[in-house]
Amino acid sequence: MVEPANTVGIAVNPTPLLKDELDIVIPTIRNLDFLEMWRPFLQPYHLIIVQDGDPSKKIHVPEGYDYELYNRNDINRILGPKASCISFKDSACRCFGYMVSKKKYIFTIDDDCFVAKDPSGKAVNALEQHIKNLLCPSSPFFFNTLYDPYREGADFVRGYPFSLREGVSTAVSHGLWLNIPDYDAPTQLVKPKERNTRYVDAVMTIPKGTLFPMCGMNLAFDRDLIGPAMYFGLMGDGQPIGRYDDMWAGWCIKVICDHLGLGVKTGLPYIYHSKASNPFVNLKKEYKGIFWQEEIIPFFQNAKLSKEAVTVQQCYIELSKMVKEKLSSLDPYFDKLADAMVTWIEAWDELNPPTAAAANGKA
Amino acid sequence: MSEINKNEVDIVIGALNADLTQFLNSWKPFFSGFHLIVVKDPELKQELNIPQGFDVDVYSKTDIDKVVGSSNSTMFSGYSCRYFGYLISKKKYIVSIDDDCVPAKDPKGFLVDAVSQHVNNLENPATPLFFNTLYDPYCEGADFVRGYPFSLRSGVPCAASCGLWLNLADLDAPTQALKTEQRNTSYVDAVMTVPLKAMLPISGINIAFNRELVGPALVPALRLAGEGKVRWETLEDVWCGMCLKHISDHLGYGVKTGLPYVWRNERGDAVESLRKKWEGMKLMEKSVPFFESLKLPETALKVEDCVIELAKAVKEQLGSEDPAFTQAADAMVKWIQLWNSVNSSG
């Protein structure tokens, strides 16, 4: 049995890393009580809360947190007709928070994620680990058998080419979950009691050319490097699919990171996932996705971006064209999605006009 | 973990130390019931000291000469002596551990049964086509995560299991010389499949493989000019591993890495090893782009054919870079000849 950490008595970090360079994006429909236990680690940071569902509902934010909150009315007001690309009645709406942020880094976490304990019983400061992951290089071109070579006590192993030891910039840090694992509906139905109790003490770079299922529950990324590609798609109300928002973003960002020479890490930190969603509800949402992903995966595995695509936006627009061309025959949904991908980029550029110095893409 | 059929396994030990008493006795709880093949480094002069209580066959220079001919026995000198064991074994699985390693302890304080863990890894499918973020989906308490394509969940056969090391990790000489006090104390509780097309440095210190599936692909080929009797002065296993991974990728097999750990003891001096010209570094730099762009012909469907094609490509594309590559290519061809002759008459 695994338990969440008790964080009562842990002092707020007096010198939190990247305090003014990072926003925490949280989608919510209920309440944000979970932030009470995260205080020692998250209170110094600015929150962007994206309120899904009924905009008239008042979301209570625990005292002491500095935040901005957007409900559906705000999203419609700010984006106008482009608001159509932001999902409604699905946590995919969180990507609106990425778009309005003005910071370099984003940490996103679900409102049912508590603080985990490491094997020694110590509370895990997930944000601190994500920041470490993002500030340290990745090594996507050659797999290091001792995992993260930059970690204290580790290094590159014998045979690891010296020319590859500088690594590349890290765009994404994908964290994991103890207790309720991120299973799909069929697996949840077969194994309703399974809990993840295994604390794997490693961070690793996902090799170039390899796709993975990116979960949005416990995720951080460098907004400058990859932000425009973190679109969480069209899910929820009025859409034929749900629970594939983060998956879709994960496949897109991985193809683009591989193309631009950026790294994606997975592993630590763990959070404690407290709530298991209803598997029957999930099955209805995922059902089409389970069949569609069989076509979608080969699509992404074979997607080749052109040499001319050198910014994230350019890569993403190219990808949207390929989606329209190759996946529309699978279902008209993908035609809509491809259009939404373009709308997203247009909205992103509108809200984030490029300055003379700034440039998205390769660091 | 499920019950192992001990009759399917050979434990192959390359003896670079004459006195194997401490080594074998420390592994007794886990080697017991298994057949052992001990191959003595042909250049080791002293007699081997092997304790009682093991089902073991020992091979020394005279045996090697008899089987492969004295002109070929240099192929099996130093750390490469173990490959003779791979050659003559008749079993399905091989587990091979360096003679300076003893069982490690897991975080709960229990000794790790490296043999069982390796065989377990080999008996369960590998998943190289898509990364599972919860690592090994077939182990107790884990599964495939949301978003993992269902068509890929039956996996592919596992060709090799690459284990790790606590205490003295397998670092190269410059790294260890720089960080003389560094010891690996991190026990990462996971087994994972190394994805398709990803290259990795496979260490021969703690390894197991499915001999029936890929035996001929473990080639004793790349020999450094200054190759020595400590791992810091070799690259044979790293080259072997690059070949093995490439061939496994080509044939649709998987390579796993992670558990089990062994405890690796002190031997040699990293700074001393640094004094030798570190040619291994240069050879690795040349090898990487070669393997990255290499495409074996679709017609190469047998492991032996893959090795021959690989040797051809090495000779053509790397031969002019360094004589070590030409020698490696020749050794690979010779290895397949020996493999075919030894294993057809068996």
Query: Does residue A345 have a pLDDT over 90?
Result: yes
Rounded to whole angstroms, how far apart are CA atoms B37 and B13?
6
Residue A194 is encoded by which pair of tokens? 């399974």
Q: How much is the pLDDT for B224?
A: 85
Residues 6+ apart with CB under 8 A from B202: A145, A159, B160, B162, B237, B238, B240, B241, B242, B244, B245, B255
Say if the Cβ atoms of B198 and A207 lie within 8 Å. Answer: yes
Nearest-CA neighbor of B217 among B195, B194, B192, B250?
Answer: B250
Q: How much is the pLDDT for A13?
A: 84
Q: How much is the pLDDT for B163?
A: 98
Predicted confidence band of residue A362 (pLDDT cuts 50, 70, 90): very low
For B:303-342, CB contacts with A below 8 A are: none
The residue of chain A nearest to residue B181, with distances taken between CA atoms, is A153
Residue in A141, A145, A180, A196 to test binding to B, most B beta-carbons within 10 Å: A145
Rounded to whole angstroms, how far apart are CA atoms A100 and A106?
11
Element (H, E) at B93: strand B93-97
Q: Which amino acid is at A9?
A: G
Q: How much is the pLDDT for B111?
A: 98
Rounded to whole angstroms, how far apart are CA atoms A361 and A260?
7
Give A69-115 pLDDT, tens digit per residue: 999 999 999 999 999 999 999 999 999 999 999 999 999 999 999 99
Among B188, B198, B288, the residue with its CB nearest the CB of A201 is: B188
Give B187-215 pLDDT, tens digit per residue: 999 999 999 999 999 999 999 999 999 99
Rounded to whole angstroms, how far apart are CA atoms B98 and B105?
17
Residue B245 is encoded by which pair of tokens? 């991974």
Say if the Cβ atoms of A159 and B164 lie within 8 Å. Answer: no
**What is the number of helices (H) and of strands (E) in chain A?**
10, 9
CB–CB of B216/B262 below 8 Å? Answer: no
Tell me the shortest Cα–Cα distance from A287 to chain B, in angstroms.
12
Residues of B in contact with A200 (CB under 8 A): 135, 188-190
- Prediction pTM value: 0.95
Query: Does residue A162 have a pLDDT over 80?
Result: yes
Q: How much is the pLDDT for A60?
A: 93
CB–CB of A219/A172 below 8 Å? Answer: yes
Query: Does residue A146 have a pLDDT over 80?
Result: yes
Regions of chain B with pLDDT less than 50: 346
Give, as one character, the DSSP assignment of residue B233.
G
Mean pLDDT of A3-13: 92
CB–CB of A233/A249 below 8 Å? Answer: yes
Say if the Cβ atoms of A142 and B200 lie within 8 Å. Answer: yes
Strand A203-205 to strand B93-97: parallel, antiparallel, or no bridges (unpaired)? unpaired
Query: Does residue A227 have a pLDDT over 70?
Result: yes
Rounded to whole angstroms, how far apart are CA atoms B181 and B183?
6
Q: Which value does ipTM take for this structure?
A: 0.95
Give A16-28 pLDDT, tens digit per residue: 999 999 999 999 9
Residues of B in contact with A174 (CB under 8 A): 133
Verify cis geometry, omega within 30 degrees of 0, for the bond prior to A40. no
Nearest-CA neighbor of A101 among A22, A218, A219?
Answer: A22
Predicted confidence band of residue A320 (pLDDT cuts 50, 70, 90): very high
What would the DSSP string read from start to end of A89-137? SSGGGGHHHHHH--SSEEEEE-TTEEE-B-TTSPBP-HHHHHHHHHHS-
Residues of B in contact with A199 (CB under 8 A): 189
Q: Which amino acid is at A115?
A: V
Among B171, B190, B280, the residue with its CB nearest the CB of A155 is: B171
